[in-house]
Structure 1
Amino acid sequence: MAIELDGSTFETISPSRFISFTFPNPSRSNSLLRVAVIDLPIQPTDSPQVAAMFVPAGRETDWIFSTESGHLQILFKSPGISRLTLIGKQPVDGDYSQLIYNRPLNKDSLYQKELEGRMKPLLLALSPKSLLKNGIPEIPILTYEDNVVCSLVLEKCVGSVGEMLVEDVEIESETVVGVSRKREFRRRLRFKRMPNLIQTEIRIVQESDFGSSSAGIGEVKFKPDLEVLVHPYLAPMVASLSLIGDYIEQRIRHGLRPKALCIGVGGGALLSFLRTQLGFEVTGVDEDEEVLRVARQYFGLEDDQFMHVSIGDGIKFIKKLAYPANKQKDNCYFGNGEDVSNKFDVLMVDLDSSDVRSGVSAPPLDFIRKHVLLDAILVLSDSGILTINVIPTSKSFHDELIHDLGEVFQELYKIDVGNGENFVLVATVSPIVSSIGDYDNSFLILLRSVISEAYINSIRKI
């Protein structure tokens, strides 16, 4: 639907307003620019501040730069800005060449500088009237920076979470003076509703029978590397197992395999790591059948006798396990007909509430209801733990979460992820007691060999 714009359209901030239109490219007369203007959902109390951003060349079709949700995420990450204007090349309909992206060698090209200069009159015209009362302001130009050197979209598909994409990326790695940069390749899952948020990320390596080590994205085939966790909060979640290392060691010595229940599967990186690197029997639950299909096809998730994955609501699944007399066959049995035991050594929760207008919070409020936490205790062994990835939206959210868990569980522990966003919260069914020396504990030795000991050492009792 066409929108008629006039000189008064942009005179004031209109919370949550989003307008995009095309504009003749003043630097290249035979092309068009896509201009998008988005206002913060909250009315500013002070004089509104505005900023502009030029879309990185070659990434115009990326959801981060082509959707309202992507623009809003960028705006939220720009403190103090009430209106953001994004300008980039208008993609040509049916042009899929940009599914492969290579970062331009010269990010500060003369063309970009020239375009920025020629677009200043438009940026002023798109500014609130109050910004002009003291003369002509300088509109700050923001720069979008991430670690992506090259990317290739493998598939776009649709699930209950909406549109999603799987992509392979080459990322920047740390460089050492005099040493060539080591190339790092990752596979990512992103959702269109929050395109600037990586839902799942794993390391990938070249298949052994393909090409030279100098080849990159789009030139050779890659396969998942399940021996390492690269998503920031997953290794800290695994580190929580050190709290019950003695208990797990005793189970192993008695010939019993430790058991984990994972609510929220995503790409399955956490489940696969527990299964392949630590020898757990793993049960996973996810609501989205398409996400599970993607996990199996692209992220190395494999079902076997020690890996069981089910489609369903995680909270309802826990309740069915907590009260076995009420379980329904189609919800709590797997294809091999074996019943899922209702006692796990660890319950790991990786669920979030994603809303582009309020950001990301984890876990969802529904999960920390008292009756859900009481059900969680019933599916855990007497020495079991509940491990949760937490993204607090506010101090009140944080305090309420700590209070609610403290009312139900014996002890609470916290692990700092180190990214300024997540932390891992661990709740124990029983007080932690250590009886086996670390040097005699084969499980703890194994755990320290596959994740950073810094996360284990950072565990603090609340």
Structure 2
Amino acid sequence: MRMEKERKEDPKKADRWRHFRYVILSHKPSFPVLVAVTMEELQLLPRRVRDFASSDYWERFFRERGGRAFEWYREWKELRTLLGRYLRPRDSILVVGCGNSELSEQLYDEGYQDIINVDISEVVVKQMKQRSAHLRPKMTYMLMDVLQMNFPDERFQVVLDKGTLDALLTDGEDTTLSRAERMFAEISRVLQFGGRYLCVSLAQAHVLKTAIEYFSREGWMVRIHQVSGNASGTSEGEFALPIFVYVMTKIRQVPDSALYILELCSEAQDKPIRFKSTEHLIEAVKERQQYFLLRNQLNKNPNSGTISLDLCSKDTGQARYTLHVVHSLTVKVSCDNQFAIFIIPQGRETEWLFGTEEGRKQLAASAGFWRLVTVALHRDQHYASMGAIQAELSEKVMELAPPALPAQQQVPFLSVGGDIGIRTIQHRGTSPLSGQYIIEDVKGDDAHYFRHLIFLSNRNVVQSEARLSSGGSHKGNKKHKKKKEAASGNPAEPSAVPARQSIDKSFLCCAHHRAMVAGLCLLKNPECLPEALFHVLVVGLGGGSLPLFIHDYFLQCCIDVVEIDPAMLEVATCWFGFLPEDRLKVHIADGLIYVDSLAAEASSPYDAIMFDIDSKDSALGMSCPPPAFVEKSFLQKVRAILKTEGIFILNLVCRDTLLRDAVLVTLRETFPLLYSRRIEGEVNEILLCQQETRHKLLPVELQGTAQVLQKALQQPGQAWDSTYVLADVLEAVRLM
């Protein structure tokens, strides 16, 4: 069973989303966001990336460029504050791959006069000597390859590299990596202990990994800074990526020490963040790059759709927050409603309002903000309080503010009800067919608690859901008590999920299940169905809510459930209140084979057949059912085991419109009478199929029939969910 997006408990209550109670938790100041510019002088770029490491290319480049300075990766005025932290006027500085940048000249003019510059281009060395001969008499330029330098050991306190490593390390090939290690070895040789290798870089993945792993392995202190400031100055060769500075400090190794000093300073941070491994540091830099690109995209084209980003824990590297940035084009922008942050309570990220692009846009519109950042909290992460979440997120989410927002503008944090919600993981398991799964209980928006089945291969989709009711003790809780305590996402709190609970069997959480049950009104004499003897086949068990509801409200109905995954039967019985008995039998089998074997017997045993089957192939445009279940040859077998006046009900989840149209054509060829009911706020579409067109009802007539069925189902003493109105469920049915 699969529920796409979020249930809507009553289609007529769609407007309730517009009346959500938004709680302003606090205000935090925003920070202006600046965007990098694109590269110029395209005619001077090489045809192949590897040519950046060629001396012949740079000879041609500087010959054609002439004496005019060319700045890669920002100018001195943008690097001064950062580089100045690691430079002293009396330092002996080696600038490798100097090119015709003005960086060395500007350093000299600010008092750093012990500078030697080297480059592999004879043309540029000659140009730079001539340029500085009279103005900077102590400046030295030398023709030299950084892979083999003619300097004595420990000659310099600083080696400064602005783009040279990036030019040399063009790819991850072994020969290229070998050249980079030769460069690092030479830098290490000529640096004194306590000296710094300052490298200005784009921090491409292979460059970053190679540099960090080499110097950390050598026992150096590794610190990485993201360069802040305006990237739209006069620098040429700017990239739509952030600029970083690696600060590699040569320190004496402690024998038998496995201690690494790995740190990152983001734009707004003075205090570095320390990491336990090179992998975590690399991931943190990648996160900063993603942020920069996201900001760039937002500011260039804010109406391009939803932009998403995961923020990971620096300690574990696991995703901790998922951010979605959405815009509401219906909101008239003013100073006070440009930007807000919405924190989604735990366990509710799968709901339609929070888990779909359409829902998030409606959320932004109803909250009255032009740009809204929604923040989803991940399971298996601990969150102390709403205040702690705000403190952790403030710096990062504020970087996503519109650039026109005043620097001191107060930005609200919003939530529902003002708390972080409750999520308790009750059980973890592994299925040979579905992989790892969890059972979790979450608090809804009306003080009710809900139990979810989540396959971790598709962790943002609720596969099965049931509402909990306080009272009876559910047997699954006792059986898995220790596991529950060990796996709980948060420690026990006074507001935790009630200890005594049972499944509310009168409540169908899934809107598509409600539509499937309502479709039974198409059977003959619906007013007699609650007491009539008839047979139903359900393919796909999940948590068992659908067959269990039919069993409890159609008192003489006999139900065969076919489920291919034996683990799901254990899940349903232990955690969702499902209990097989004489009228409710479960067959562990492949639905294709089960139907095929019955069709071979040439019998028509079923009055109704329901397919609610999850596809395990996430690459398909149709996630329910698997394609083999809607092939014409198989559908003909389904028709063969269905009574003439019976009904076939299919839960279709298909995002590919062409594939959906093909499925509908095949269904109409097999079942001439076809009704469609799309589920609001979900991808699900319920198809009601019959063999005889003489029983065709107009949608309004179908609603009347549904009213008759509901009246018959609401027996004295039998609980009935007041929000479940069969006629309303079928209000949007279309005759195909």
* TM-score, normalised by the number of residues in structure 1: 0.67
Task: State how 1:146-165 maps to structure 2 within 5 Å.
Answer: 149-159=421-431, 160-165=433-438
Which of the two has higher C-alpha Rg? 2
Task: State how 1:233-244 maps to structure 2 within 5 Å.
Answer: 233-244=512-523
Matched AA of 2:510: H
Identity %: 19
In 1, the alpha carbon distance for the partners of 2:415 and 2:312 equals: 8
Compared CA separation, residues 157 and 62, structure 1 to 2 (3 A): farther
Compared CA separation, residues 370 and 170, structure 1 to 2 (3 A): same
2:566 corresponds to which of 289, 311, 315: 289
For residues 125-165 of structure 1, the C-alpha deviation after alignment (integer angstroms, 9 at most, x for no partner) is: xxxxxxxxxxxxxxxxxx99999821111111111111111
Q: Does 1:229 align with 2:479?
A: no
In 1, the alpha carbon distance for the partners of 2:567 and 2:577 equals: 15
Secondary structure class of the residue paired with 1:198: coil
1:353 corresponds to which of 615, 620, 631: 615
For residues 95-138 of structure 1, the C-alpha deviation after alignment (integer angstroms, 9 at most, x for no partner) is: xxx75866833487233213456xx6xx9xxxxxxxxxxxxxxx
Higher relative contact order (CA 8 A, sep 6+): 2
In 1, the alpha carbon distance for the partners of 2:636 and 2:422 equals: 47
Specify every segment of 5 or more residues in structure 2 that has no aligned partner in the other structure, as ranges.
Answer: 1-171, 178-200, 209-238, 242-261, 291-296, 323-349, 359-374, 401-413, 475-492
Q: Does 1:170 align with 2:443?
A: yes
Q: Does 1:8 align with 2:204?
A: yes
2:712 corresponds to which of 446, 451, 454: 446
- Once the two structures are TM-superposed, the CA of residue 456 in structure 1 deviates from its matched residue by 2.7
For residues 259-280 of structure 1, the C-alpha deviation after alignment (integer angstroms, 9 at most, x for no partner) is: 2110111110101011012322
**Which residue of structure 2 lines up, in the alignment, with residue 343 of structure 1?**
605
In 2, the alpha carbon distance for the partners of 1:221 and 1:271 equals: 25
In 2, the alpha carbon distance for the partners of 1:103 and 1:238 equals: 42
1:273 corresponds to which of 549, 567, 575: 549
Q: Does 1:112 align with 2:385?
A: no
- Once the two structures are TM-superposed, the CA of residue 22 in structure 1 deviates from its matched residue by 10
Equivalent pair of 2:615/2:625 in contact (CA under 8 Å): yes
Task: State how 1:296-445 maps to structure 2 within 5 Å.
Answer: 296-324=573-601, 342-358=604-620, 361-431=623-693, 433=695, 443-445=709-711
**Which residue of structure 2 lines up, in the alignment, with residue 127 of structure 1?**
none
Structure number with the higher helix fraction is 2
Equivalent pair of 1:54/1:88 in contact (CA under 8 Å): no
**Which residue of structure 1 lines up, in the alignment, with residue 343 of structure 2?**
none
Secondary structure class of the residue paired with 1:204: strand
Equivalent pair of 2:647/2:688 in contact (CA under 8 Å): yes
Specify every segment of 5 or more residues in structure 1 that has no aligned partner in the other structure, as ranges.
Answer: 14-20, 66-72, 80-86, 92-97, 124-142, 174-182, 326-340
**Which residue of structure 2 lines up, in the alignment, with residue 455 of structure 1?**
729
Equivalent pair of 2:312/2:318 in contact (CA under 8 Å): no
- Once the two structures are TM-superposed, the CA of residue 217 in structure 1 deviates from its matched residue by 3.1
Equivalent pair of 2:442/2:449 in contact (CA under 8 Å): yes
Compared CA separation, residues 152 and 275, structure 1 to 2 (3 A): same
- Once the two structures are TM-superposed, the CA of residue 8 in structure 1 deviates from its matched residue by 2.6
Matched AA of 1:458: A
Q: Does 1:189 align with 2:456?
A: no
- Once the two structures are TM-superposed, the CA of residue 315 in structure 1 deviates from its matched residue by 1.3
- Once the two structures are TM-superposed, the CA of residue 245 in structure 1 deviates from its matched residue by 5.0
**Which residue of structure 1 lines up, in the alignment, with residue 463 of structure 2?**
199
In 2, the alpha carbon distance for the partners of 1:370 and 1:100 equals: 46
In 1, the alpha carbon distance for the partners of 2:725 and 2:616 equals: 29
* TM-score, normalised by the number of residues in structure 2: 0.44
Matched AA of 1:296: T
**Which residue of structure 1 lines up, in the alignment, with residue 29 of structure 2?**
none
- Once the two structures are TM-superposed, the CA of residue 452 in structure 1 deviates from its matched residue by 1.9
In 1, the alpha carbon distance for the partners of 2:730 and 2:502 equals: 29
- Once the two structures are TM-superposed, the CA of residue 198 in structure 1 deviates from its matched residue by 0.5
Matched AA of 1:289: P
For residues 356-390 of structure 1, the C-alpha deviation after alignment (integer angstroms, 9 at most, x for no partner) is: 44565222210111121111112111111110111
